[in-house]
Amino acid sequence: MALTIGMIGLGIMGRPMAKNLLKAGYPVVVHSRSQGPVQELVGAGAKAAASPKDVAGQVDVLITMLPNSPEVELVALGRAGIVEGARKGLLYLDMSTISPLVSQKVGHTLGAKGVRMLDAPVSGGEKGAIDAALSIMVGGEKADFDAALPVFQALGTTITLLGPLGAGGFTKLANQIIVAVNLTALGEALTLAKKAGLDRALTLKALSGGLAGSKCLDQKSPNYVAGSYNPGFKIDLHFKDLGLIMESSRALGVPLPCTAVVQELFNAMRVKGKGGLDHSGVITLLEELAGLPTQS
């Protein structure tokens, strides 16, 4: 019999992930603050639950995909949370991007109730979630990773156990440095090219074939060509990740000068009311600084 899987958090990433679990044949129990996505998943064959506690009491594996550390702590350890409904042996996969230190705290508390936990943040954005092509970065025990692997394989294509609980989170923070700096560099390069009168689509084609090519360039090229930055991953969420990165860098004694500059550019986007744009939309700030007309 297939494992029953719980999914808490049905946003840009969680909703397509839950759909892919259904497509893989798993019974799925869902819960989210917003009822629209819950009803959509129920229509696709999932079962709705009233609370995280209610989800935990019905499933073998429970996944959370939530915005930040406080939400994970509340859902896992708060009133009517996972901790109140979990049965011994429950496998809990937090696939949110949060502080690795919070992951370790939650794992320790749930471990006292017999709950096994992996931190397993993802990269690939909305497209990766829809296509079940996420990169999944996992921290935790090898036996728990092996038990979770078939579930991860319904969601992603690159699945790596990196070390103990928290290792997945630290790897995701490293990933987010590269993505944020890459998108900012792309924004600067394309702004320079635009100011020089170059065709954007042709510029992107030329750049993609050389050493400057990247997954960021490939995935975000349609945004740059259209001048439209509907969110696959919001500036607001990446700014949150940059805060976690700088917090970790200070704790570990690792200077991150480029990341600090990018964090302030993302902060400026939020101050301008553009935090809801896709993170590739940082180019609009750079175009504005160059005196160019922008779209969003």
> Between helices 167-195 and 235-252, what is the axis angle to 10°?
120
Of 223, 236, 224, 290, nearest in space to 266 by CA: 236
User: How far, in Å, CA of 224 to CA of 201, rounded?
Assistant: 8
**3-state class percentages of the chain: helix first, strand second, coil last, to nearest 5:** 55, 15, 30
Q: Are 227 and 248 in contact (CB under 8 A)?
A: no
Start-end of H helices in 44-124: 52-56, 69-77, 82-85, 100-111
Cα dihedral 206, 212, 218, 219 sign = negative
What ranges make up the beta strands (E) of the chain?
Answer: 5-8, 28-31, 47-48, 61-64, 91-94, 116-119, 122-123, 134-139, 156-163
Query: Among 172, 220, 240, 274, which one carries the catalytic annotation?
Result: 172
Task: Please give the Cα distance from 148 to 157 (Å, whole number).
Answer: 14
Annotated catalytic residue 172: yes
Q: How many CA atoms lie within 13 A of 79 on its CB side?
A: 0
Torsion, CA 61, CA 51, CA 18, CA 41, rounded to 10: 140
Catalytic residues: 172
